Amino acid sequence: MALAKTEAATELTVVVPTYNESKNIPEMVRRLNETLKDISWELIFVDDSSPDGTADVVRSVAREDHRIRLISRHNRRGLASAVVEGALAASADVVAVMDGDLQHDESVLPDMFYKVRDGEADVVSASRFLREDGADGLSSQTRVAISNNGIKLSNFVFNLKMTDPLTGFFVVRRDVVRRALPELSELGFKVLMDIIISAKPRPRVEEVPFKFRERQHGESKLDNKVMYEFFLFFIEKKISAFLPLPARFLSFAFINSIGILVHLAVLFPMLALLGDDGFVSAQLTATLVAMGFNYTVNNMVTYSDRQLKGAKFYAGFFIFAALCSVGILGNVGVANALHRDYPTLSVFVPAIAGALITVVWNYVATGAFVWGRTKFPSVFRMRRNQSVQA
């Protein structure tokens, strides 16, 4: 015997990624409760281990309102992945995504929701640039410049016709996210654009104007790594049709290529200072400096969502150095074998082959054992990343 329904089915799921936004939680719930009074809704906060107790505030609010849910993520950060996890956990067929800093004007949500629910569009995004004063909430000229240049580049490269493809405020059908999921980038700040260009066939998109407010509390998700991630995102999407390399690998390889220049920049001055008799010392020093550069920059940028800090940073470096040493042996072995067995080949061929072996090995091995989800010996106190849903 079927149970009688006591409540209307959830029509809209609102997903809000948070980091250090505990002061905004009660006000956001109050505003949504007022704005969405004619819609059956739920609210999922996806919190990246905020040290200010954001998750505890959400739990407190959720005890009083069953429509409030929490996904608390441990040892993992990233806006795009938070949005995807929240959307996949949604019980409604229509999902809204907005920031937790109260800069997004929730009053336009009903109009956006009805357009998607009624089939007028698959995605409805809120554009800051359909109003003359819409982008006033951007905190600096740097953010304005990043937005303007990013919009022009996005529209040109990906054949879009949007006034604001970089907005973080949008409503989308959940099945569109699921269609896009296999092609979504590992890195990336602008998840809306990624969803639009990854879903096959491309979803129908409509824009509505909204006023971008001043930030009240919390931290901006836009930092000095976003343009680098944006650059990798473009490359990944453009080469994926014939060479499906993830953005994280591209970042790792690019940083390691710069590490070669760092190596040379240390090696030649030391040789000039020590002479040929000091080659071993110069080579060892240059190798350690380049290895330290590669590890530190990859930890900050390539694996920013799994960044190691404190004692874990130093433990990770020792593991990184040990694994990269194996890669160096593989490099020399492969290059030497090719040079010996195919002496007519240009020396660049075995050299490049050896270098590729090193990059692939280092990426796979360090990704698994330094920044990965493999359990480490307890002395390093590194635990598996977890998502805990409450």
Domain-located, residue 6 = no
Nearest residue to 101 via CA among 223, 222, 218, 221: 218
pLDDT of residue 200: 92
> Within this chain, do residues 357 and 281 fall inside the same structural domain, yes or no?
yes
- Please tell me whether residues 214 and 265 are part of one structural domain: no
Same domain, 356 and 311: yes
Residue 268 is part of which domain span? 247-389
Say yes or no: 228 and 306 in one domain: no
In a domain, 305, yes or no: yes
Which residue blocks in the chain are alpha helix, DSSP H?
25-35, 54-64, 79-88, 109-117, 141-158, 174-180, 191-198, 226-239, 247-274, 279-297, 311-341, 348-369
Number of domains in the chain: 2
User: Which of the listed residues 239, 272, 301 is the one where a domain comes to its end?
Assistant: 239
User: Is residue 251 located within the same domain as residue 232?
Assistant: no
Closest residue by Cα to residue 96 from 107, 360, 357, 331: 107
Which residues sit opposite 183 in a β-bridge? none
The CATH number for 56's domain is 3.90.550.10
Q: How far apart are the first and last CA of the chain?
A: 30
| pLDDT per residue as tens digits for the range 323-363 | 988 887 776 677 677 767 777 777 667 667 777 788 888 89
Q: Are 65 and 386 in contact (CB under 8 A)?
A: no
* Helix ranges (DSSP H) in 240-310: 247-274, 279-297
Determine the 3-state secondary structure of 2 from DSSP.
Answer: coil
The pLDDT profile of the chain, 390 residues, written as one tens digit per residue, is 343 444 679 999 999 999 999 999 999 999 999 999 999 999 999 998 899 999 999 999 999 999 999 999 986 777 788 899 999 999 999 999 999 999 999 999 999 999 999 999 999 999 988 877 645 545 456 666 666 777 887 778 888 889 998 889 999 999 999 999 988 886 655 789 999 999 999 999 999 999 887 655 544 455 556 667 777 777 777 776 677 777 788 889 889 889 888 888 888 888 788 876 777 788 788 888 988 999 999 998 888 878 898 999 999 999 999 998 888 777 667 767 776 777 777 766 766 777 778 888 889 999 889 987 533 333 333 333 334 344
Count how many residues are written for the chain. Answer: 390
Does one domain contain both 130 and 278?
A: no
Measured CA to CA in angstroms, residue 102 lies from 15, 60, 87, 169, 241 at distances of 13, 19, 20, 11, 38
Q: How far apart are CA 307 and CA 304, in angstroms?
A: 5
**Closest by Cα among 231, 293, 287 to 264:** 287
Same domain, 227 and 251: no
What letter does residue 28 receive in the DSSP assignment? H
Task: Indicate the residue among 187, 221, 239 that finishes a domain.
Answer: 239
Written as one string, the DSSP assignment of 184-223 is --SS-S-HHHHHHHHSSSPPPEEEEE---PPP-SS--S--
337: left (phi over 0), alpha (psi -120 to 50) or beta: alpha
Same domain, 95 and 48: yes
Sign of the alpha-carbon torsion through 236, 161, 115, 119: negative
Is residue 1, in this structure, part of any structural domain at all?
Answer: no
Residue where one domain finishes, among candidates 239, 267, 286: 239
Q: What is the DSSP letter of 19?
A: S
- How many angstroms separate the Cα of 340 from the Cα of each of 76, 326, 356, 358? 46, 21, 18, 19
Same domain for 200 and 256, yes or no, is no
How many CB atoms within 10 Å of residue 37? Answer: 9
Same domain assignment for residues 157 and 212:
yes
CA-CA distance, 233 to 192, in Å (whole number)?
A: 13
Is 7 part of any domain?
no
The whole-model pTM stands at 0.72
Distance CA 23, CA 215 (A): 12
